[in-house]
Amino acid sequence: MNDGLRGDLIALSRAISADPELAYKEERAVGRITALLRKHGHEVELNLGGLPTAFRARVGPPGPAVALLAEYDALPDVGHGCGHNLISMTIVGAFLTAAAKAKDLQTGIELVGTPAEESGGGKIDLLEKGVFKNAVAALYSHPGSGGRWNVSERLLGISVKRVIFEGLASHAAVSPEKGRNALTALIVLFVAVDGWRQHLPSTARVHGIVREGGVASNIIPSRAVGDFGLRAATMGALQEMVEMFENMAKGAALQTGTKVRIEEEMRPYLPVEANPALGDALAQELVRLGKSPSRGRLVTASGDIGNVSQKVPTDYIGFPVSAEEIPGHSHRMREASVSDYAHESAFVVIDALSATALRVATDKSFRESLRL
């Protein structure tokens, strides 16, 4: 990679990090990425799938393609504390590197910009719009810490439920017996969840917040709202957790004489199903570059990459932003994601992803092995 492109990619990472934008509103990040793609001679399809901040660039013949998936949305308050600036850097860099080396491609290589990973699920939108119907493989990256390199990481699936309890307001001092306390129902549900955790496998997670809990201390709350995230490593386990949770919410309503309604706060992010052949190829490239990646590590987070992996052969590289352990979704992670250490890791990822994308696009037997 020439020094000019290296400088462009580092500048892209730093600019996206310094100017965070939330889900579905990543206009400036997309503008920076598309400007860089055009600088290097690539046309960009905007408004992909009807999403204003989704886009696609492509090299190679029409029809089937290997998709390189970029992210660029930020977290509230923390900004780019999940390192999506680095995901943009590595995926854009991998596409440009592969495009510069591309010859005799049997399938296309696409860069697909996917918004709203942190909230909403842009990849799910694009799946529903048929954007991945011709994808023969999907490649991706995600930063972490602790000096670890990983391939074929497993992510938990997540179902986020909004639980709405409706009770009956009354004067909390004069006539409390005439009220039905919706907040009490929500507290009962939290207590039930706390007791449930001891019976869940170590790969499961449940976490929640109170969104609404009343309007004044002297009024029995007639409405209380909580959001709960349920996570599991397999589709079957996730479905079982959802059923149990909904029964607990109904039980809390019965216990308190309230009514309950359960809604989907967010479309489910499915567990990641990594493709073994793609994982082998990525691991081989990392070893060639002097890294020793682990395989199949479980990360108890979730992402909409899981939904893609259930439909398209998918795998990705987990790479470090620092040698020390740093919590994700934190200000420390945000700062580490623009460090020299992180950017040097990113260039290794670019090399490995671009080589693997080219292999998929030029090796028919390897491409066919992805579907076995």
Integer angstrom CA distances of residue 89 from 86, 93, 140? 5, 6, 11
Domain shared by 144 and 42, yes or no: yes
* CB 96, CB 77: distance < 8 Å: no
* CB 281, CB 151: distance < 8 Å: no
Q: How far apart are CA 363 and CA 344, in angstroms?
A: 29
What pTM did the predictor assign? 0.90
Residues 6+ apart with CB under 8 A from 272: 153, 154, 155, 303, 305, 306, 309, 314
Helix, strand counts (H, E) of the chain: 11, 14
Domain range for 342 is 3-154+272-369
Domain shared by 19 and 110, yes or no: yes
> What amino acid is encoded at 143 in this protein?
P
Please report where in the chains the tokens 């600036």 appear, as a residue: 85
Please report where in the chains the tokens 């909409």 appear, as a residue: 304
What per-residue confidence (pLDDT) applies to 208? Answer: 97
Domain shared by 17 and 29, yes or no: yes
User: How many C-beta neighbours within 10 Å does residue 325 have?
Assistant: 12
Please report where in the chains the tokens 């660039």 appear, as a residue: 57
What per-residue confidence (pLDDT) applies to 303? Answer: 95
Domain shared by 240 and 279, yes or no: no
Q: Which one of 249, 269, 289 terminates a domain? A: 269
Domain shared by 150 and 279, yes or no: yes
Domain shared by 349 and 283, yes or no: yes
261: domain CATH number? 3.30.70.360
Domain shared by 135 and 175, yes or no: no
Domain shared by 314 and 255, yes or no: no
* CB 224, CB 212: distance < 8 Å: yes
Please report where in the chains the tokens 């780019």 appear, as a residue: 80
Provide the percentage of residues in the chain whose pLDDT is more than 90.
96
Domain shared by 264 and 303, yes or no: no
Question: Which pair of structure tokens corresponds to residue 47?
Answer: 């408004």
Domain shared by 145 and 164, yes or no: no
Residues 6+ apart with CB under 8 A from 283: 151, 152, 293, 295
Q: Which one of 209, 234, 269 terminates a domain? A: 269
Return the bridge partners of 266, or none. 160
Q: Would you call 299 helix, strand, or coil by DSSP?
A: strand
What per-residue confidence (pLDDT) applies to 372? Answer: 78
Helix axis angle for 3-18 and 340-362, nearest 10°, is 120
What per-residue confidence (pLDDT) applies to 2? Answer: 86
Q: Domain count of the chain?
A: 2
Q: How far apart are CA 4 and CA 162, in angstroms?
A: 48
Q: Which one of 254, 269, 284 terminates a domain? A: 269
Output the average pLDDT for the chain.
96
State how far Cα 326 lies from the chain centre.
18
137: domain CATH number? 3.40.630.10
Q: How far apart are CA 192 and CA 260, in angstroms?
A: 15
Domain shared by 210 and 232, yes or no: yes
Q: Would you call 247 helix, strand, or coil by DSSP?
A: helix
**H-type helices in 257-338, by residue range?**
276-288, 305-309, 331-336
Domain shared by 145 and 293, yes or no: yes
**H-type helices in the chain, by residue range?**
3-18, 27-39, 84-101, 122-128, 182-197, 235-256, 276-288, 305-309, 331-336, 340-362, 364-369
What per-residue confidence (pLDDT) applies to 198? Answer: 94
The low-confidence residues of the chain, meaning pLDDT below 70, are: none
Entry field: residues in the chain = 372
Return the bridge partners of 57, or none. 111
Q: How far apart are CA 289 and CA 282, in angstroms?
A: 11
